[in-house]
Amino acid sequence: MRLLTIVAAVAALSSATPVQSPELVALEASFAEHMPTMKEKRQGSSSNDVVSGACRDVFFIFARGSTEPGNMGLTVGPVTCSGLKITLGLGSVGCQGVGPQYRASVGDNLLPAGTSSAAINNAVSLFETASRRCPDATLVFGGYSQGAAVMHGAVSRLSSAIKAKTVGGVLYGDTRNFEEGGAIDNYPRNDVLIICRLDDGVCGIGLVVTAGHLLYTTDGSVTRGVSFLAGKVRATR
């Protein structure tokens, strides 16, 4: 397990101040520093097209970051979903957030897999449900922060048949980037795009929450992610 160093970003995003406290308390304080302001801007969203919607050509399964509300969160999840719909067709893409077993609890970042077994199993079940309900659908996935850890654990455990339908993924601010060497075990390296800012400390040797961890919706990362996933889908047609 990495040594956890928590850095709370200042409002101007120009510097960071270390928080000296126990690991869990520090993690919770770091997320609390930023998330209330973000929640004031817009509600977290949920999408359940895999479990309750009609079959689509493409399903995007997404795991949100720690403390994000809804099952899609309020940062990169909803906008990546929207981008895929705009790019591939509104009626062609369905989106599904991971939950409710995935709680997006801050404390679960401290577990060996970077998230809980229940969260990973929840995600695996959604891939299986999508494949079973809509066998002709193409699957893509995404995750942010702890949600990236969920996808590392889930995608590596998918059956070969479901992996064959899962053509690509994008992970933003990947908390497992260092441990997994910028890849997902048992999944083609070229089929996953891991987007980690140089100023996002969670991607490195220490689990460091810095200002850069919160900038993926404003720095063009989502455009890159959508383009990558859309390209993978189009390559199958």
pLDDT digits (tens, 9 = 90+) for 38-83: 443 444 599 999 999 999 999 999 999 999 999 999 999 999 999 9
What are the percentages of helix, strand and coil residues in the chain, rounded to 5?
Answer: 40, 15, 45
**What is the arithmetic mean of pLDDT over 13-27?**
45
Residue 12, domain member (yes or no): no
Residue 6, domain member (yes or no): no
Residue 61, domain member (yes or no): yes
Boundaries of domain holding 221: 17-38+46-234
Catalytic position from the list 49, 105, 200, 221: 200
Residue 8, domain member (yes or no): no
Q: How far is 106 from 36, CA to CA, in rounded Å?
A: 15
Number of domains in the chain: 1
pTM: 0.85
Position 113 pLDDT exceeds 90: yes
Give the confidence band of 30 by pLDDT, cuts at 50, 70, 90: low
Give the CATH number for residue 229: 3.40.50.1820
Residue 5, domain member (yes or no): no
Residue 213, domain member (yes or no): yes
Q: How far is 204 from 225, CA to CA, in rounded Å?
A: 20
pLDDT digits (tens, 9 = 90+) for 182-228: 999 999 999 999 999 999 989 988 787 888 999 999 999 999 999 99
Residues paired with 62 in a beta bridge: 97, 142
Residue 4, domain member (yes or no): no
Position 105 pLDDT exceeds 70: yes
Catalytic position from the list 66, 105, 145, 221: 145
| Helices within 53-145 (DSSP H only) | 76-88, 117-133
Residue 226, domain member (yes or no): yes
Active site residue 200: yes
| Helices within 13-116 (DSSP H only) | 23-41, 49-52, 76-88
Tokens 């889908």 sit on residue? 233
Q: What is the pLDDT of residue 126?
A: 99
Catalytic position from the list 47, 49, 105, 213: 213
